[in-house]
Amino acid sequence: MDTTNKPLVYVVEDSLSSGALYCSQLQKAGFETEHFVDGYSALVAIKAKMPAVLVQDVCLPDISGLEVLKYVNKQEVSAKVIIITSNSSIDIAVDAMRLGGYDFIEKPFTSERLITSVSNAIKQQHQELEIVEVEPESTSLDRQNFIGESLSMHTVFRLLESAARSKASVFVTGESGTGKEVCALGLHQASARNNGPFIAINCAAIPAELFESEFFGHVKGAFSGALTDRKGAVEVANGGTLFLDEICEMQLNLQAKLLRFLQTGTFCKVGSNEVLQSDVRIVCATNRNPAAEVGEGRFREDLYYRLNVIPVTLPPLRERGDDILLLANHILMAKSAENNKKFQSFSEDVKQTFRQYDWPGNIRELQNVIENIVVIYDGQSVQQDMLPNNFGHSVVNQQQHPLHNHISQPHSAKDVNTNVKVQPEPNNNIIQLWVVEKNAIEDAINQCDGNIPLAAAYLGISASTIYRKMKSWVEN
């Protein structure tokens, strides 16, 4: 291969032996390399000639590796930056990813891990150049999968477009039914891995005793019922994206095994000692508050920080304003076409009802309501009397929303119009549960002289839970 056609890779590593080793491994894989032992030397070389990829340690003898990363990303044409880190500097590596780093790999790592990361970075860079040349005004994210014009959704769009250009792990949070899997699929389709597989696992739906097999695969005879070798999701998703839905439902011992895979890119099938490799991008999701799960000991802190490189929060439908009607119209047209119906619009009173309703089930509930109408009725316009009989009866209780302030009282006339039975004011001495909880928390805080983390420890909950409850009390 002609040297001029080889992608140029700068290696910034203050250890002469390690830097020489990385360069040797990359040269054997067909890359042209240059080695720099400090940040300033690398900056001078970058100013003279921008490489295709920059492989750099975050801990340099003269300046922070983050400063080099910032300089690269300010240039009109920038390199893909791969961060080398040790366990002691993992937090810095996470910061680097948020500043626009492409990937990070932890020491010690194999030559295959290094070469795979550099190759993927080159592939994505070429894809971006092709997009710019052919469609200079297009964006990488296919907006057809995302309906919405609200400010909150535009914020999500911008974040997803940035995340799609990176290999960094993405942690999607949001209430049930807000479209977390659609979000993950959109990221996959907009990334350099779009030709690879998209594999989704619902962590809450797999029995704990089968999870390791589902995730890593097994060999014949590994356990009773293992009649043949089987590939797991990690192996099947090689070169693509692995979506882990309801990640907070994963047991702690399984979390440790997932963390090991993320750190090394290697795994063993159940019943085998053979070490295999897989290069996947992880996108995970939960309808819980992951930070609170960490605080309460149900989710590993190190795994949380490893996955939460790019956090994306999907807003609940009730906070998206007129997006409700945009989504409703889109769903109505799609369901009408599927069922050979002629519905085209909603009456004004139905629109008003949709705007006022709390939508505890979010987009999924909206889809179910509209599909019910389309299947049962005929016509061109959806009328108020076509709404399902149970519409509004179900779960307007805020405890259905784990990420929403969940101690609240009815606050508007719409709570009455949904036909929810409102219990009369009791004539006895029964104290409402949320008041009992509030009194208990405030008493604990007083006994701890205002130290909320200490009070949380005595109560057996996280400090973030107390702060969230206090906020809900103020709002109500």
Q: In 231-387, where does DSSP find H-type helix? A: 233-236, 252-264, 290-295, 301-307, 323-338, 348-356, 362-376
Select from 296, 304, 305, 298 the least CA-distant residue to 462: 296
Domain covering 317-417 assigned CATH 1.10.8.60 in the classification = yes
Phi, psi angles (nearest 5°) of residue 234:
-60, -40
Architecture of the domain delimited by 143-313: 3-Layer(aba) Sandwich (3.40)
- What pLDDT score was predicted for residue 398? 37
Nearest Cα to Cα of residue 399 among 270, 287, 296: 287
Which of 56-60, 325-329, 336-340 is predicted least confidently?
A: 56-60
Q: Answer for the pair 276, 269: CB distance below 8 angstroms, yes or no.
A: yes
- The residue with greater pLDDT, 206 or 473, is 206
The matching CATH number, chosen from 1.10.10, 1.20.120, 3.30.2450, 2.60.40, for 433-475 is 1.10.10
Question: What is the residue-wise DSSP string for 169-238?
Answer: -EEEE--TTS-HHHHHHHHHHHSTTTTS-EEEEETTTS-HHHHHHHHHEE-TTSSTT--S-EE-HHHHTT
Return the CATH class of domain 3-134.
alpha beta
Element (H, E) at 285: strand 281-286
For the cut 70, the answer to whether the pLDDT of residue 1 exceeds it is no
Min mean pLDDT across 92-101, 123-132, 296-305 is at 123-132
The mean pLDDT value for 361-365 works out to 91
CA dist., res. 300 & res. 93, Å (int): 18
Q: Domain residues of the chain, as ranges? A: 3-134, 143-313, 317-417, 433-475
Bridge partners (DSSP) of residue 34 are 10
Domain 433-475 in the same topology as domain 143-313: no
Task: Kindly provide the b/e burial profile for residues 265-282, where b requires at least 16 CB atoms within 10 angstroms of the residue's own CB.
Answer: bbbbbbebeeebbbbbbb
Question: Is the confidence at residue 474, as pLDDT, over 70?
Answer: no
Contacts of 142 (CB under 8 A, 6+ apart): 186, 189, 190
Assigned token pair, 41 = 């030397």
pTM value surpassing 0.85: no
DSSP H helices, 135-177, are 151-164
Using the predicted structure, report yes or no on whether residue 135 has a pLDDT greater than 70: no
Count helices and strands in the chain by DSSP H and E runs: 19, 16
**Tokens 């032996």 identify what position?**
17
Q: Is the pLDDT of residue 309 over 80?
A: yes
Task: Say yes or no to pLDDT of 299 above 90.
Answer: yes
**What contacts 264, CB < 8 A, 6 or more positions away?**
106, 109, 113
